[in-house]
Structure 1
Amino acid sequence: MEKMFVFILLMFHCCYALPIATHDGTGENPNIEYLKQFGWYSGGTDDIDDDVELSLKIEEFQEFAGLKVTGKFDEPTISKMQAPRCGIPDEISGNEAHSTRRRRNAFQGSAWEKRNLKYYIGNRTTDLKPSEIQDGIEYAVKLWSDNSGLTFTQVDDAAVSDVRFDFVNKIHGDQKEFDGPGKVLAHAFFPNEERRGQVHFDEAETWLGPKQYHDPSGTKYNIMVLAAHEIGHVLGLEHTSNETKSIMKPWPVKYYKNFELPSDDITSIQTLYRNSQNEMRLDLCNTSKIKFDAVLQGPQERTYFFSGIYYWEIVSSGIKQGYPKLLFELFPDVEEAKEMTGMDAIVFSSNTKKIYVFKDNQFWRFNSNFEMDKDYPKLIIETGLPDNVDSAFEQDGHIYIIKKKKVYIFDEEQQKTFKHTSTKLQHTFPGVPKGTNGALTWRNDHTYFFKKDKFYKFDKILGKVAEEYPRPIKRGWICL
C-alpha cells in the first residue's frame, strides 16, 4: 500500500508539474512578467488550468522566437527573453490569434488615410552628431517610401508633423517607461492610437551612426535599423516571427552595407497600402530599381516574374498588357497567396503538371490551374532540402533547386531530394553566381538565371555561361 501511495504521488507530480523559473525576490516571476508585458499571457498561476495555459503560451512564444518548443522556461528561452528588443507587444490585444506561419506579414489593423506623411526630428541623443541622426532617420524613411505608395517630407515644425522621432529617458509621459540600458530599446504608436506617429528611442542606450555595425557585445545599436523597425509600427505593421527575413522582428536585425528593406516587409507594406498609385510605381520600364523574388516558365509555356504581391506575364514583346496584377489573381486561394508573397522560388514540372512554391521553411504544390493540392503546405525539412532556397527550375525532366553554392535534384514521387545528388553550383552550372533570385529553362532549351537586375544565359551545348553575360533584365525580358 505504501509503495502504491508513493507511485500515485509521483504520477501526480510528473503529469502536472510545470517548470517555472525562480522568482526575482519581489514576489513576481520575471519570465511570466515578460510574457505578460509582450502580450503572450495574461493569466495567473494559482490553479492547475492556468499552469497548463502558461505552458501553451510558452510554446507559442518559443515557436515565434524560433526556439525549440518545450513549453518550459529553459535556458535558450530565458536567454531570448533577456535579449534587447522593441517595446511593442508581439501579440496585440484584441486581434485575431496568429499562428507562427501567419506572422510573416502581420497587420495591426490600422493604416494612415493619407499617403503623404510629414516627419519631425525632436529630442536628439548626445551619442551621435546631428548629421548622423538626420542621415539615419532619412535612410530609414527612404526604405519604406521606395517600396510603397507613401512619401515622407521632413518639416521643422512639430505641430504640422504626422511622425515624430525623439530620444527620451525613463519616464517620458506616455505610460511606457523605459528601463535603462538593454532590454527595451525603442517603441512607437500605431495609426489608430492617440499618440500615433510618435517614435521614442531610449536615450539610456548607446547609439551608433547609420553606417556603423552593431557592437559585437550587443550594447550599441544602429540608429537607422531601429528607426526603420519603428517606422514599420507607425505605418501599421506588427511584429513578425524571428524566422522571417523581416525587419519587423522584435529583436534588432544586423546592419550590412547598402542595407535594403527585406522582401517580407515590401510585401507587407504594399499589401497594406496598395492602390492605383502604388501599381503605377511598379511600371518596370520606368522604375530605376526592381528586384524579382522568383521567375517561372509555367503551364502552356507562359512566363511569369514575381515581386512581392505582384506578378507580370512576359511575352515575346516584353510585359503583357494589363500587368502587373496581384498575386491573388493567379492563385485562387487568397490566404495562401498572401503567405507566398515574397516567395523564394517557384517551378513547374512538365512531368506531373505540378507547380511548386518555396518560401522560408515551407513549400506548396499546385495543379496547372494554380489550385493548391490537399495537405499542403509542408515543411521543407521533410524533403531533405535546406530552408530559404534561392531558385528552382526544370531541365531535362529534372527539378533543380539551388541554395547558395549547392545544387539539389528534387524527387517528385518521393517528395525528397535524390540521395547523393547535392553538388557544387560551379561544377554543375559553371559561371552561374550564387544567390540567384530565379531561374527557368527557355524554349530554346537554354537555362537563364536571374540575380538582382541582371540575367545569365547558361548555354546547354557549351556547358557554361555564354559570353557577353550577364545582361540587364530590362533589355532582355521586360522592355523589348
Structure 2
Amino acid sequence: REAKMETKILSFLGLLYVACSCAFPVVPEKEKEDMQFKYLENFYDFQDEKRSLFKAENLDRMTDKIREMQSFFGLEVTGELNRKTLDMMKQPRCGIPDVRSYSTFPQSPRWKKEDVTYRILNYTPDMLEDDVDEAIAKAFQLWSSVTPLRFTRLYSGEADIMISFAAGCKRTSLYDEKHNFLTPPLFFLVHGTLAHAYPPSRGIGGDAHFDEDENWTKFTTNNGYNLFLVAAHELGHSLGLGHSNVFGALMYPIYMAVDTRNYRLPQDDIDGIQALYEAPTELLPREEPTEMTPMRPEDCDPHLTFDAVTTLRGEILFFKGSYVWRKSPFFSVIEHDTISSFWPSLAAGFDAAYEVDKKDRVLFFKDDQYWAVSGYSIDSGFPKPIQNLGFPTSVRKIDAAVYDQNTKKTYFFVGSKYWSFNENTQSMESGYPRKIAADFQGIGHTVDAALQKNGYFYFFHGSNQYEIDLKNKKLVRIIKSNSWFNC
C-alpha cells in the first residue's frame, strides 16, 4: 500500500512538473547566453572571440562588461549575470550603446547652424498621420525650448534629419574589428530595441529610425510605446547627446512609461544639450521685451477669464495671454502649456479662435489679422486681414468666434452684434450683422469667447459662461468660466 501511495505521489509530482513547465517555461541556457552576448556586444563593446583557444579570456572580458553595465545602471557591481541584471537586459530601450559615461558623442558632434530641417519619410499604421506629425513636432519643441535651434519641416528633398519607420534588418555588432563605433543598423537582434538615431553629420547623420515591429501610441498605455517619448529621446541623439545614467532623464537608455501631458525636459537633459548649444536668451516670447511675462492664473481662481476658446482634435483649448489650458476627453487632469510651445511664431493674446469641423483647421484672430493652423503647423500665406472674410473696414478686431456643426456656419461676435459666415461658400451671409440679444435670449452683453459642445453654445463673459440651448437659442444656466476644470 505504501509503495502504491509513493507511486501515485511521484506520478502527481511528474504531472505537476509538466504543467508548471508549460505554464512557466524555463528559458534555455543557450538562449540566455545568446541574449547576454548580443546585449553586451551591441551596447557595451564586448567582442566574443569565438575562435579563441583561451576561453578564460572571454569569460574575464564578459565579467568586466557585466560590471560596466551594472555600474552604468546603478546595480550592485558583481560581474555576475544575476536576476536584476538579466531583468535590466530585457527592458525596452534605445539602440544606441552605453559604452561611456559622457553626455555627448565622441568629438561632441553638433549642428553648426541654428536652422535645422527635418522630414517624415513614412508613417506607422499604428497611429493617425496627424498624431505622428504632432508627436514629432512636440518632440522637436522640447529641445528648441531650451536651445537657439529652430526646426523646420520639409515635405520633399533632403532634410538634415530624416525620420522613418521600418522593420529590422540584421547586424550583430556596433563596432568594427578596431573597436570603432559603427553607424547602427536599422534594428538589432535584441528584444525590445525600439529605435535609434545618428549623431549630427552629413548624409545619414541626424537621421532617426523607429522599429515598425513595435506598437506605437499617441498616449502612454500598457499595450505600446509612446511615440512622443521615444522620438524626443532619439532626437536628443540627432542633436548630439549620448545616453545619461541619471535615472528619470529623457536620455536614460531604458524606456520609461510616464504621463506626457505635463512633460517637461529634466534638468540633466537641459544641462547636456546646453553644453552643446547655448541657452536661448528668452525661453518664452514676450509681448514687450521690457515687461515681465505675467504668471499663469490658478485653474480654480473664481475671477479667471479667457481671451479665446476652441476645440482642436477632440481637446478643448482655453487661451489667456501667453498660456493655454488643454482639456482632453481621455484624461480628467488639465494640461498647462504656453502658446509658443505649440506655435512659436504666433503672437500671444488671441482675440478669438475656432475649429472648422472635419477639416483639422483652426483659425486664430488677433487685432485685424487672422492665421490658419492645420494641426500644429501654420498654413502658408498667413496672416491675412479679416476683411478677406467679408468684414467691413470699420471692424478692427473680433471678440469671439464659434463654428456651428449643425448649420456649417461660423458666428463672429463684435461688440453687441454678430455675423454669420457660410463655411461652404466661404462668404458672409446677407442680413448681417444682427443684434446678439435679439437672437440669443438672455445674452445682453459682449462675448469674450465662445464654444459649441454637447448640443450647447457656451458664451464666455468675464468670469462667467452662459449655456445656450442650440435648438431654441435660449439661456439655460450661468456657470463659472473655469467650470470645465473640475473646480
Instruction: Report the TM-score when normalising by structure 1.
Output: 0.47
In our comparison, the structure showing a higher alpha carbon Rg is 2
Q: Normalising to structure 2: TM-score of the pair?
A: 0.47
